[in-house]
Chain A
Amino acid sequence: MANQQSNSANPNLNLEYRRKQNAEEMKHQVITFSMMIFFTLIAFAMVAMETISRWFIIPVILLLAVIQVIFQLYYFMHMKHKGHETIALFIYSGLTVGLITVLVFLTIVWL
């Protein structure tokens, strides 16, 4: 959430630099996106093949999902930028409670 302000004597020069920085970041976002698509393709292809053991497929596709979500949070949602400590606390607290809930429902709840 760092709020960089223009402190250049020549704002137009600063503008050019910032535009270049933004374009650079956008390029990284597109790379992130292509990797996300690639992981999705692997996950779907593994399931479509129908020959691989489910004990191998399930952990691998779960791992691919976790990686995709990390990309989504840190790149698309900017958590890699400075000043996201409180935000990380919020989202990781949510994830911890969520994970415990899933664990409980899968282990000590039976029907």
Chain B
Amino acid sequence: MHVEEKFTDATWPAAPETATLEGKNKYLGFWLFLGGETVLFASLFATYLALKDKVPDSGMLLAKDLYEIPLTFAMTMILLTSSLTSVYAMYHMKNNSFQKMQAWLLITVLLGFSFLALEVYEFKHYVHLGHTFTSSAYGSAFYTLVGFHGAHVTFGLMWFLSLMLRNAKRGLSLYNAPKFFVASLYWHFIDVVWVFIFTVVYLMGMVG
């Protein structure tokens, strides 16, 4: 089986992402990267937890004054749903239906953009209230952690979009199937990080 081979639905491998050696290596290497990302985010979480509510004067807003349930809830639901839509995309990839995969990826990208729009709104709102990157150690730690996640979302969106555009006229092959698969793994990882952000930063922040 070589990368350029043309497949029918019946000959398309059951696990196209690891059918070639390149795909296998990509898959393994990507998980090594995710292990490193885990450490990166853990240190940002650790910094945030150590610096939470450390503000220079008592008049400044703390976590429980800033965070609001409705916005965090909406962002969480959007990102969780986008995780499922990318699972649907990979389901269609395994069935060799390229157009359906592209359609589900487009939905994933749109959900990702709406998540990002809400995050931009949230940050703008906080800055307006006087909670900025430079206002306190708490502010720096908060924007670094949540902003890093937002940057990952942005990168994931660019990644999906470039794969979708680059391969729009090519259709599926063993050359690009691992690429789509790895991008969807990245997207799930972003969701994993968000689960901890909404729990540790927002919900625990609101509880006090």
Contact = CB atoms under 8 A, between A and B. Distances in A.
A22 B94 contact: yes
A73 B192 contact: yes
Given A3-B13, A90-B35, A111-B50, A76 B87 contact: yes
A91 B31 contact: yes
A107 B167 CA distance: 50
Q: Is the interface of B mostly helix, strand, loop or mixed?
A: helix
B207 A54 contact: yes
B149 to A, nearest CB: 14
Interface string B48-73: 01110010000000000000010011
Interface residues of A, number: 55
Contact of B199 (A19, A29, A54, A65): A65
Interface residues of B, number: 58
B108 to A, nearest CB: 12
Interface stretch (B36-44, B110-118, B121-129, B151-159): B36-44
A6 B11 contact: yes
A33 B196 contact: no
A73 B83 CA distance: 12
A22 B97 CA distance: 13
Contact of B11 (A3, A11, A73, A109): A11
Contacts of A18: 14
Contacts of B198: 40, 43
B71 to A, nearest CB: 12
A87 B51 CA distance: 33
A30 B10 contact: no
Interface string B184-207: 010011011001101110011011
B49 A106 contact: yes
A37 B80 contact: yes
B28 A58 contact: no
B22 to A, nearest CB: 13
A57 B49 CA distance: 17
Nearest to A8: B10
Interface of B: 9-11, 13-15, 18-19, 24, 27-28, 31-32, 34-39, 41-43, 45-47, 49-51, 54, 69, 72-73, 76-77, 80, 83-84, 87-88, 91, 94-95, 137, 185, 188-189, 191-192, 195-196, 198-200, 203-204, 206-208
